[in-house]
Structure formats: C-alpha cells, structure tokens
Amino acid sequence: MKLNADFSKRVLLHADEIAWQASPMPGVHRRMLDRIGDEVARATSIVRYARGSQFSPHTHDGGEEFLVLDGVFQDEHGDYPAGSYIRNPPTSSHKPGADKGCVIFVKLWQFDPDDRTQVKIDCNKIARITDANRPGVSITPLFQDDRETVQIETWQPGIEVVTDMPGGAELLVLEGCFTENGDALRPQSWLRLPVGSQLRAIAGPQGAKLWIKTGHLRFVGAAAN
C-alpha cells in the first residue's frame, strides 16, 4: 500500500473525516495518514483502542513514536495518560493495550536504525518555554537529535507564525485552530510540509496547540519507492 507517499508534496488531512479501518487485532482501529507497506509499514496513523483491547507482544524493528491524545495507553512498562509522548526505538518490545480505551497518534518505521534512545514524557508536567524568536509562541521540547526536533507548540490567539522548514515538517493540531496557506486546521488536522517549505500560519481566536516535528523529511526520498 502507498498512501501520501510522495514526500515532495504538501498534504493536509482532517482525521475526523477519515473512516476508521480495522487492524488485525479486535477492537483496534486506525485512521491512516501516510503509509508505505502493508501490515509492516512506514506509517503515520491515528489509532483507537476500544475498552479492554490490546495488541499481541511485538518488537519494533523500525521504532515507534506516539502521542496519547485521549484515554490511557498501557503496556507492561506503565500507564500513559493523554499528553504522554513515547519513543520506543528499534529493537524495543512491548504488549500494548488500554483497559479503558485510548486514542494515540503514532509513527512507525521512521527511526534511524542505530537509534536506541528511549523517551517517556508526560507533557502535562513540563513547563513551557517562551520562544525568543517568535512572539506569542511557547514550546514544550520533547526530543532533538541530528535528524529531527519534536516539540509541542502553543500559539497565542491571533498571532502570525512564520517559520522556515528547510528539512520539512509535520504538524498535528491538538487544541484550538489556525489557518495555513488558506486552509483551516482544527483538532486532529494533520499537515505535512515538504523540504524547503515555509510555514505561514495565523492562530485562531482561542489560539492553538500542536505537536510538530521538523527536519526529518530530509531523510526520505521525494517519492518513496
């Protein structure tokens, strides 16, 4: 399967308009955003675990990165409430599930094969940092290395945010809304900007909060084969 596999193109999807598709595990459904491959795939998705559902134990050969959007995600290593950001690097393993159900934003098979950095962050417990170069913007840093930067950004109401994206970017709206390139984005809108883009956005009347990853698209072919 190839879905939004041309990384030279801007892509905007509203996840709440995408039909849920069943996964191989009962009670686990997903909304696919981009994908290269079948069940073993380079993939970006919104995944919903029904109450009491779980995946069988598995190893992440290509790594797994996710943000809990709603409910509590669980595995044998702990419970992760909404706002938790997790990076499970290549060779890590677990048995995921959700006793009371949850929704996560997840990216698979997008790590450097040699990456072994495990990250577990409760974003609710980290103070925001004012961005000195962009008035009205504050950030919650989540991860940074030579390949990419991942953070939560909070934009004050009505501000214009202009940022060059030489390595491309992905954004997921968590709260509030904003406009970008004439398009209106709302919670669970997902935007992918190719290498060499410029983000030019205007926050809505209630401001906006978003997950954003930058730099990583330098390492993906324009049209993945």
DSSP state of 7: T
Q: What is the pLDDT of residues 31-55, one digit of tens each?
A: 999 999 987 889 999 999 999 998 8
Residue type, 27: G
Name the band, by pLDDT with cuts 50, 70 and 90, for residue 56: confident
Read off the pLDDT of each residue in 176-181 and give the average, rounded to a whole number: 97
Place of tokens 């950030």: 139
State the pTM of this model. Answer: 0.94
Position 101 scores a pLDDT of 96
For the chain, give every residue range classified as CATH 2.60.120.10. 2-122, 123-219
Read off the pLDDT of each residue in 143-168 and give the average, rounded to a whole number: 97
The Cα–Cα gap between 222 and 88 comes to 26
The average confidence (pLDDT) of the chain is 94
Are the CB atoms for 116 and 100 separated by under 8 Å?
Answer: no
* Residue range 2-122, CATH number: 2.60.120.10
Place of tokens 């968590």: 174
Are the CB atoms for 189 and 174 separated by under 8 Å?
Answer: no
Topology, domain 123-219: Jelly Rolls (2.60.120)
Whether the per-residue pLDDT at 180 is higher than 50: the answer is: yes
Of residues 15 and 60, the one with the higher pLDDT is 15
